[in-house]
Amino acid sequence: MKKHATLLLSVILLAVTVLAGCSSSTGDSKGNSGTTAPKSSSEPAAQEKVTIRYFNWDNDVQAQTTAEYIKQFEAENPNIRVESVSLVPGNSLETMKKLDFLVASEEQVDLIAFPNASELFARAQNGVLAPLNDFYAADGLKPDEEYMVNPKMNDNYYGIQTNATTNFIVLNKDALDEAGLEVPKAGWTWDDFRDYAKKLTKDNNGTKQYGAYFHSWPLYMNPAAQVNMRHPFLTEEGETNFSDPTFKYFFELRRAMEAEDKSAKPYSDVIGAKLAYRTEFFDGKAAMMLTGSWMISEIGDTEKYPHTFKTAIAPVPLPSEGADPSVFIGGNFVSIGANSKHKEESYKFARFISTNLSEARIELPGWIKGDAKPIVERLIGENKELYDLDSLMYTLFTDEIKPLPASNVVVSYDKELDQILTDGFSKFILSNQSADEAQKWMVDEANKVIQKNSK
């Protein structure tokens, strides 16, 4: 899911590291402390440990994973100590603010992790981060062959992806079977989705089962922009993308499904009752829903979400047949501070956590060279009968879908554009305003924001 949905898939990790130890005056090419001969003796001194502080927003569950990573890393690297500090537990945005305070205070920063590429690029533009190119070259690595997404600016790589989130469609497999429908594959369109929703809508023992559910987030107002474009609101040239034809298309699709087909719960009900999207699906009130990989473990959590039906997974539909199937992949990234005196050690720890596929991991990796299927199996847990495993594995690992590059567009007014989309969609779906009128209003308002911030 994108950063706003974020929803996106969904649980998030941040790490920042500040120097808390000292090294000797000479070090080897790997950044180890090395040895220094005392003035009064030719005997080398014992190696000193380097300490890197790992700032994050770990909650209790995430802290357990971090602690296990550190334990494993220090066992392999006895001369490097990692200290984990949760700045604002469970809150990545507030942690970012504290990070900026540390940087402004000129406190030395070794390693930084970000909740998304946008936050990373904002710091890279300000010279806070060190390029990773030399580290990759020294290890003989090509980053595009290592990770799904590689934040890159001016030919420099600045972030190592530690985990990945992606969007997909969850479907009530029992309802599909009853309607005689196959689980969709890559390449199906939103028109196909509408057709499925019609066939899946029915009365379920006095309770209506809608074919589809759209939540109140911007993700559901035009998934083509949120999932199939590098930036949800802007082109790579920094112009508004609200003029894109997919906005009119999806607005009208939503109205048709609500008013004509009556296959999707009305937006007015969603926001009026403040509905919970998980409940709508697991209670059988909707047979299909756009969501993300953060829900993999929740499908099998019958204590929190009691249900007995099997869930199938399908790729996000395309806006039109033959459209580019590339999708936005979210996730967390770690970066090295520009003023760090322990860049080698920080890079080493960053690579370690990004490639760690041990049982400590509770999220999908961004590293593409490892076998992530055992991780998915761990996320599934004991209730395998609640999953259509073939469709889940296909959707997560098919070569038919490629990740989009991270957007290089970094602006401070994302929230304003987010609100314009929400207001524009509301004007359309809650009144008789046409899609053309709503789209024109959105474009005009977005241009005002862009012009205001370009002065």
Which of 73, 22, 31, 83 lies closest to 52 in space, CA to CA?
83
Lowest-confidence range among 85-99, 382-396, 431-445? 85-99
pLDDT digits (tens, 9 = 90+) for 357-385: 999 998 999 999 999 999 999 999 899 99
Report domain extents, the chain. 15-39+46-165+331-370, 167-326+388-454
**pLDDT for the residue 442:** 98
Task: Please classify residue 380 by burial: count the beta carbons closer than 10 Å to its beta carbon, then call 0-12 exposed, 13-18 middle and 19+ buried.
Answer: middle
Measured CA to CA in angstroms, residue 239 lies from 26, 234, 242, 410, 454 at distances of 50, 5, 9, 12, 11
Return the structure tokens found at 409. 């567009």
Topology annotation, domain 15-39+46-165+331-370:
D-Maltodextrin-Binding Protein; domain 2 (3.40.190)
Identical fold, 15-39+46-165+331-370 and 167-326+388-454: yes
pTM of the model: 0.83
CATH number of 167-326+388-454: 3.40.190.10
Q: In the numeric block, which tokens belong to residue 73?
A: 């890393």
- Mean pLDDT over 378-393 rounds to 95
Q: What is the pLDDT of residues 131-185, one digit of tens each?
A: 999 999 999 999 999 999 999 988 999 999 999 999 999 999 999 999 999 999 9
